[in-house]
Amino acid sequence: MDNFADRLHQAVSARGAPVCAGIDPRADWIPDEFYDRAFSQHGRSPAGVRAAVREFCLQVLEVIAPFVPVIKPQAAFFEALGPGGWDDFAAVCARGRELGLIVIADVKRGDIGSTAEAYAASLFGSSRVKDIALSSCRADAVTVNPYLGADGVEPFVLRAREHGAGVFVLARTSNPGSAQFQELALAKGGTLVDEVAARIHEWGSGGVGRYGFSDVGAVVGATHADAAARMRAIMPNAWFLVPGWGAQGGAAETVRACFKGGTGAIVNSSRGVMHAYAAGPLKDHGPARWREAVEKAARQFHAEIKAIAGG
């Protein structure tokens, strides 16, 4: 089975830029045309709302697929739609795979023992109960919270590796309050995030592919210039998933520090691409021209990050 890091490298090469589009559907920003169609079929009901959001996400994938090698559906926005939201999340993951995209399930799971194993089973491969096959959402990778330590991460790493998938462990995240814990000084020297980074490097040591990167990556935000180079020095073989570009104010110099020889990082933009018609420099397009705005945003994002990475 192909190593996840190798598949990611190949996907980036095929699309020409190391970019990831976050699929974070804000229900109140979905163009009315989708609600009109969904309500005509399902009535003004929760099922109608879910159908509108789902169809919009699927159409967004069609628009952005030529420009991005990776998508990152955020589970919370789908779970907020009600009990059926996970089905919509899985449908988006499935369509992404059909379009040849790498799918990172942004779920930020973190638990131990059999619970961690169950979470991992919901994301990778399939399971059997009474000889009945139970499918997962078949993600290519997942985001994991390391706060519970190795026994909260290793079940995901093991299950992912069995299925040629990957894990991105939260390291230096992009949110403003991240330093409250992540940059705490340790008695032995360094900070908490330095220790997490060292463990990520260790967890990934058994999954290094032929391009020199491992199947255990790190989430390193684009908003902390002081941390990016430090993280890269500690984790030379890790793919970095880099959120914070665009709406969160990520800077080019920080993003550049995440790369190693022009590779090894995937930069994410969420609402800046999929909701470009509603917020940001292309919002003058409005919902009526949503498709045009999303395509323009994807093209521009592709070009910006390609230039930063040295492509």
CATH code of the domain in which 15 resides? 3.20.20.70
Query: Where in the sequence is the domain holding 72, given as residue range(s)?
Result: 4-29+67-309
Q: Is 186 a member of any domain?
A: yes
Instruction: Tell me which of 72, 108, 188, 306 is the catalytic residue.
Output: 108
Q: Is 41 a member of any domain?
A: no
In this structure, what DSSP letter does residue 146 have?
-
Label residues 260-276 b or e (16+ Cβ within 10 Å = b): beebbbbbbbbbbbbbb
Q: Is 60 a member of any domain?
A: no
Q: How many domains does the chain have?
A: 1
Q: Is 280 a member of any domain?
A: yes
Q: Is 99 a member of any domain?
A: yes
CA distance 282 to 59: 19
The 10s digit of each residue's pLDDT in 23-66 is 999 999 999 999 999 999 999 999 999 999 999 999 999 999 99
Q: What is the pTM of this model?
A: 0.95
Mean pLDDT, to the nearest integer, of 163-190? 92
pLDDT reading at 245 higher than 90: no
Q: Is 254 a member of any domain?
A: yes
Residue for token pair 């793919």: 239
Q: Is 50 a member of any domain?
A: no
Please indicate whether residue 188 is annotated as part of the active site.
Answer: no
Helix, coil or strand: residue 140:
coil
